[in-house]
Amino acid sequence: MGKSEMSDHGGEQEEKRVRLPLTMDARKGLKAGDRLLLSGRLITARDQAHRRLLDALEKGEPLPVELRDETIYYAGPSPAPAGKPAGSVGPTTAARMDPYTAHLAAEGVAAFIGKGPRSPGVRRALREHGSIYLVGVGGAAALLGSKVRAIRVAAYEELGPEAVYELEVEDFPVVVAYDLAGGDVFSHLPPTA
């Protein structure tokens, strides 16, 4: 993990450069609140893709993409404008994927990227399976899209923006939300009823 020259965001803490896939050793070294710049492959999946993936798992069918050690990004990109490698692609609300997350963590997914807090059940399941949760800044989608070098449809093309895309990213900024030691970047949030 190298240091970044673009760490003028926010000052105090350096961004750590991280190469994907995230090995278990790399995951263990990360703490809630760490700022990371990811480079490598992300796999997008949002609402409808999750339903299909879970459906396949339930039926014992093979998944259309290998998920072990991969990083799932909850996102539905906007189309690439002419001459650009990708459009805008920020994180979507992670809590909508809560019902599916334990199952995908059990398949060996290394990390999930979304926005906002998750349920206590998801937090537990992630630790149990050695997966971490990272957050992107919701709405920083043009900036995040400018970190995408290549994009291709990996599955469920007919879902349009909800298809599974494979993204090749470089220095893609995220913050560690839930680490493997139980650290939680959202612990300050007021309790919901």
Partner 1 sequence: MMSGSRELDLKTVSAAVEELAFQASLELPADIEESLLRAAESESKPLARYALRMLAENAHVARSEGLPLCQDTGMFHLFIELGEGTSLPSGYIAAADRGLREATAKIPLRSSLVDDPLFGRANRGDNTPVVVHVDEGGPAGKVRLTLLAKGGGSENATHLFMLLPGEGWEGVKRVVLEAVIAKGAQACPPIVVGVGVGSDASGAIELALKSLLRPLGSRHQRESLAACEDEMLESINALGIGAAGLGGDITALDVHVEEAPAHIASLPVGVVLCCHALRRRTLEV
**Shortest distance, CB of residue 115 to partner 1, whole angstroms?**
7
Give the count of residues interacting with partner 1 (CB under 8 A): 48
E strand map for 46-185: 71-73, 111-114, 132-135, 148-155, 164-178
CB nearer to partner 1: pick between 108 and 153? 153
For 91, how many CA atoms within 13 A lie in the half-sphere containing its CB? 25
Question: Does 21 sit behind a cis peptide bond, omega within 30 degrees of 0 on the bond before it?
Answer: yes
Contact partners, residue 155, CB within 8 Å, separation at least 6 = 49, 64, 65, 163, 164
Q: How far is 192 from 173, CA to CA, in rounded Å?
A: 28
CB nearer to partner 1: pick between 3 and 68? 3
112, β-bridge pairs: 72, 133
Site string for partner 1, 11-50 (x = CB under 8 A): xxx-------------------x-x------------x--
**Footprint of partner 1 on 126-165 (CB under 8 A):** 135, 137-143, 145-146, 159-162
Q: How far is 31 from 156, CA to CA, in rounded Å?
A: 34
**Footprint of partner 1 on 44-63 (CB under 8 A):** 48
Of 10, 60, 62, 120, the residue at the interface with partner 1 (CB under 8 A) is 10
Which residues in this chain contact partner 1 in the complex, by CB under 8 A? Answer: 9-13, 33, 35, 48, 75-79, 81, 84, 87-90, 92-93, 95, 115-117, 135, 137-143, 145-146, 159-162, 173, 175, 185-186, 188-190, 192-193
